[in-house]
Amino acid sequence: MKAMDFGYRLCCWTLGIVFIYAGVTKLFDPKIFATLMDAYGIVPDILLMPAAVFLPVLEIAAGIGILFDIKGSLTIILGLLILFLVILGYGIHIGLDVDCGCFGPEDPEGQAFHGLKTAFARDLLMLAGICFAFGWRKTRGISPTPFIYYLNSYKKMKKENMA
């Protein structure tokens, strides 16, 4: 059981780090990420820049959340991953030959392969990790910590430091 508990933590930490890294690299140049999103033709022009900022911020927040096992973060990552799989699947279906945009403008995979199938396979692997994490939580009765707990702890610590 200890090895599986370690596997659960490793899985969550890996997902968290991947999502934080992906979000941070996209935020370095949201204009390029907006251009990559525009290649798919599914986001209206007026929403490209807001989406190019919102999605990476959500990725970072969910990635940090899963590192601390905050309630809802794994579900957000699942939702984002399903969204990404649908978009990548659409791009593969219509024959796009573009960088997936997964890790921002300096994505080595995008520069080397310039294809979507590798990104789709990687996302399926991450989906398997999410399924494992949800299953292990259910099996072990693991309850993620509500965000409000961390917020209240911070308020209490701040109040004690002021006294």
pLDDT (tens digit, 9 = 90+) per residue, 16-71?
999 999 999 999 999 998 988 898 888 999 999 999 999 999 999 999 999 999 99
Q: Mind listing the pLDDT tens digit for each residue in 147-157?
A: 887 777 777 88
Q: Can you give the pTM of this predicted structure?
A: 0.83
Q: Please list the alpha-helical segments (H only) found in 68-116.
A: 73-93, 108-113
pLDDT at 105: 59
- % pLDDT > 90, the chain: 56
Q: How far is 21 from 83, CA to CA, in rounded Å?
A: 18
Closest C-alpha among 129, 143, 140, 134 to residue 11: 129
